[in-house]
Amino acid sequence: MLRGRAFKFGDGISTDHIIPGRYTHLRSNLTELARHVLEDVDPAFVSRVREGDFIVAGSNFGLGSSREHAPLVIKMAGVRAILAKSAARIFFRNAINLGLPVLICDTDVINDGDELEIDLSAGVVKDLTSGQKLTFGKMPQVMLRILDEGGLIPYIKKHGDFKL
Amino acid sequence: MGETLAEKILSAKSGNNIRAGDIVIASVDLVFIQDTTGPLAVRQFRESGLKKLARPEKTAVFIDHAVPSPTHTLANDHLVLRRFASEAGAIMSEMGEGVCHQLVAESLARPGDIIVASDSHTVTAGGLGAFATGMGSSDVAVAMGLGRTWFRVPESILAEVGGRFQKGVSAKDLILHVIGLIGADGATYKALEFGGDGIKEISMSQRFTVANMAVEAGAKVGLFPADDITRDYLAAQGRKKDYQPVSPDADAIYERTIPIDLGALEPTVAKPHTVDNVALARELKGVKIQQVFIGTCTNGRLDDLEIAASILKGKKRHPGTRLIVAPASRQVLLTALEKGYIQTLVEAGAAVLPPGCGPCLGLHQGALGDGEACLSTSNRNFRGRMGNPKSFVYLGSPATAAATALAGEITDPREAM
Ligand code: SF4
């Protein structure tokens, strides 16, 4: 069970919004890189977000580049799950590979700052502020297993190969 | 039942008779990394416990994004990659050789291949019928070690192309039109396939432009069949034996078919700050542009420089508009030198950069000032893409870019031809 606050974002948040190309020189200095997460959309985000919070976004979250640094800095900021109406393909897979769940649901009913409780195995999000309950879409088995192990690298370390 | 191009290639490489929606493990024919996502891939590879590359001769490392290195931190990232390539026995492409996707197209990708790489524009090789897709550093690290990866077999959208381009209109206008039509998430998780009689009018270089931008509609791959045009291209590259025909079955099932008449297309531009925010170039007359950039894995090839040079020949860029040109590869640069295109562009006032990504990703070179606008032949115009969130990026064809550089404002290239 995950519990935290919702940070609301709009549609079409790209990987360039999450971690702009102008910070490429910091990619091997992740702590420094993470200080700039989402800064072009909400400069205050990084100072306000706390361990356990959630990003709640509109459609096509994470479109653009394949940079795994994007979900990585989001995770480093303390975010424990991303909820979105839809997510871009590479970002979705990258986030799961880092053990960061991306949950597809109708995020319109969640407001900025709402307290959420997420039951990953039951597939349910409870908005404790509004009392609303949401369900999110299932992901393929292989992704669930990767998520269970905390990401692709720990998964491969343990199993040595993919198991469908 | 017939198979789409995507199903056909994945079936062959996973040993199954598969269908859209299935999850499969498929062997990978080529894996590559580049200098902005590669260092993390190297770290994940070491972390994963996979000791060796599955196929070093089919694993490539490109230094193309931050070239020549602008900072010591990036120079250190380059060191990581060089060491990794030499220890692991991978193919090493040094800075100055060109953009990874162009080099892969020129020398490594084959029709029917499965290619994965830590760069979203890996889809470019779909232009010659390879199932080529971008992934993150972890996925690519594992693919390097195992020689295989898992896929969800995508549903396919077919763009059924007919007719032929008008003068001044090219593949860039086609793909911008398609993205405008279906939206930046119109093909998410799907394959965007191109077929119909009209594809015979689209050269290999132009097919790469189209496939390259499939990801801007969210697609996993952008695919063209491998036909005579593909065969001739590979032969001209001295790679005749790499050719095999690949085509979808006539009774393949598509999720959706989009008919497109090439003859009805006009020069098209994507406005800030999303790629699907398209308009016709002529509708944007009067929009002042301070910088024009011609290059990238989308439009930095020989025919792109040729059309730009033909428009700029004997003329000068507008005094208020800077012009930057970056050929996509050493081969492109050498041929453009030989044919005089570089001479023409420099005489017209262009600053020419070495082969590589150049200003495309806003990392160095050609960053924009506050409030400035650039018309770029690249593939992305997200806010801040060219280094400054207070600037504006418009995307267009090389012809539109050249006409705009002359006029100082967005211009329909047909006015300049
Ligand atoms: S040219 Fe631009 S889009 Fe292409 S690989 Fe380089 S940075 Fe990416």
The one-digit pLDDT tens for each residue of chain A (164 residues) are 999 999 999 999 999 999 999 999 999 999 999 999 999 999 999 999 999 999 999 999 999 999 999 999 999 999 999 999 999 999 999 999 999 999 999 999 999 999 999 999 899 999 999 999 999 988 899 999 999 999 999 999 999 999 88
Ligand 1 centre to CA of B385 (Å) is 11
Q: Is residue A164 part of a domain?
A: no
Give the pLDDT score at A137: 84
Tell me the DSSP string of A113-130: T-EEEEETTTTEEEETTT
Q: Is residue A126 part of a domain?
A: yes
Q: Is residue A102 part of a domain?
A: yes
Give the pLDDT score at A163: 86
Give the pLDDT score at B214: 98
Ligand 1 centre to CA of B254 (Å) is 30
* Domain regions of chain B by residue span: 5-262, 268-415
CATH number at residue A78: 3.20.19.10
Give the pLDDT score at B365: 93
**Residue B97 contacts residue B91 (beta carbons within 8 Å):** no
Give the pLDDT score at B406: 98
Alpha carbon distance B309, B294 (integer Å): 11
Core vs surface per residue B254-286: b (16+ CB within 10 A) or e: beeebebebeebebbbbbbbbbbbbbebeebee
Tell me which residues of chain B have a pLDDT lower than 50: none
Strand partners, B394: B375
Give the pLDDT score at A139: 86
Ranges of H-type helices in B202-292: 204-212, 228-236
Q: Is residue A145 part of a domain?
A: no
Residues in chain A whose Cβ is within 8 Å of chain B: 12, 14, 16-17, 20-22, 24-29, 40, 59-60, 63-69, 71-72, 86, 88-90, 93-94, 97-98, 140-142, 151-153, 156-157, 160-162, 164
Ligand 1 centre to CA of A34 (Å) is 23
Q: Is residue A143 part of a domain?
A: no
Domains B5-262 and B268-415 share a fold: yes
What is the CATH topology of the domain spanning B268-415? Aconitase; domain 3 (3.30.499)
**B253-257: long-range contacts, CB 8 A cutoff, minimum separation 24:** B253/B1, B253/B2, B253/B4, B253/B20, B254/B4, B254/B155, B254/B156, B254/B157, B254/B158, B254/B193, B255/B20, B255/B155, B255/B156, B255/B157, B255/B190, B256/B157, B256/B158, B257/B157, B257/B158, B257/B159, B257/B160
ipTM given for this complex: 0.96
Q: Is residue A152 part of a domain?
A: no
Q: Which CATH class is domain B5-262?
A: alpha beta
pTM: 0.97
Give the pLDDT score at B337: 98
Q: Is residue A154 part of a domain?
A: no
**Residue B213 contacts residue B182 (beta carbons within 8 Å):** no
Domain hosting residue A37, numbered range: 2-136
Using most ligand atoms within 8 A of CB, pick from B34, B294, B378 the residue to mutate for ligand 1: B378
Q: Is residue A163 part of a domain?
A: no
